[in-house]
Amino acid sequence: MILILLGPPGAGKGTQGRFLADEYGIPEISSGDILRAEVAGNTKLGRQAKSYMDKGELVPDGIIVAMMADRISKEDCKPGFILDGFPRTIDQAGALADMLKELGRSVDFVLNIDISEERVIKRISGRRSCPNCSSVYNVHCNPPKKDGICDNCGNELIQRIDDSESTVLNRLKIYNKQTKPIIDCYDKRSLLRTVDGEPKPDVILDDILNLLNR
């Protein structure tokens, strides 16, 4: 199965992506996680991407498309994969269709996680992330067992630079302008399923599984 997760920053794409990856036994591929690892490793790609990411702007399509084409062609993606954070522009969606065509494959479902901007802002301001294993917590509604420490790997949690309130507003503006139009494209191709992103994560997962298995 090839599944795309869409929704604004903070909608819960990463959380649901990891649940679904476990459920279906296929990799969850987060373009943001790949970029953050490149930045942490101070690679050429990381250095190219960092200034865009810190401001909450999109990294240029050419860089992202090459990075994702490389990832999708890996052996572990053969049984299928879940995309979180890619595609984010109409051009990236076109490039994804082209790369899948070349592999003789196509997208099965596009899942849109629907959530209000007010909720997104509240959620992201409380978000704490593990730079080591990418686990995500929320100081208000999903705190780690030990304050500031990842339950999963024991690493210290951080607040991402791009999770500051002013940067979140910029990310939302960019999402509305550049990413939202993709939803219509996939809807026209009857690939779109929409799920309410407001309830608790386990409730959302149940709703998603019901939608996908219908």
Active site residue ranges:
13, 88, 127, 160, 171
110 binds ligand AMP (CB under 6 A): no
Spatial neighbors of 62 by CB under 8 A, at least 6 apart, are: none
Cβ at position 61, least distance to ligand AMP in Å: 7
Per-residue contact flags (x/-) with ligand AMP for residues 149 to 188, judged by CB under 6 A: -------------x--------x-----------------
The residue range among 50-58, 74-82, 106-114, 201-209 that interacts with ligand AMP, by the rule CB under 6 A, is: 50-58
15 binds ligand AMP (CB under 6 A): no
197 binds ligand AMP (CB under 6 A): no
56 binds ligand AMP (CB under 6 A): yes
d(CA 151, CA 98): 40
Binding test (CB under 6 A) with ligand AMP, winner from 2, 45, 64, 208 = 64
d(CA 14, CA 191): 20
Number of residues counted as binding ligand AMP (CB under 6 A): 17
Name which of 166 and 213 has its Cβ closer to ligand AMP.
Answer: 166
17 binds ligand AMP (CB under 6 A): no
54-60 long-range contacts (CB < 8 A, ≥24 apart) are 54/161, 54/162, 54/167, 55/162, 55/167, 55/170, 56/162, 56/167, 56/168, 56/170, 56/171, 56/174, 57/170, 57/174, 58/88, 58/89, 58/174, 58/178, 59/35
Cβ at position 210, least distance to ligand AMP in Å: 25
The residue range among 27-35, 111-119, 192-200, 206-214 that interacts with ligand AMP, by the rule CB under 6 A, is: 27-35
CA distances from 86 to 46, 48, 146 (A): 17, 18, 33
* Contact by Cβ (8 Å): 56, 120: no
Of the candidates 172, 161, 82, 156, the one whose C-alpha atom is nearest the C-alpha of residue 118 is 172
Binding site for ligand AMP (CB under 6 A): 9, 31-32, 35, 52-53, 56-59, 64, 85-86, 88, 92, 162, 171
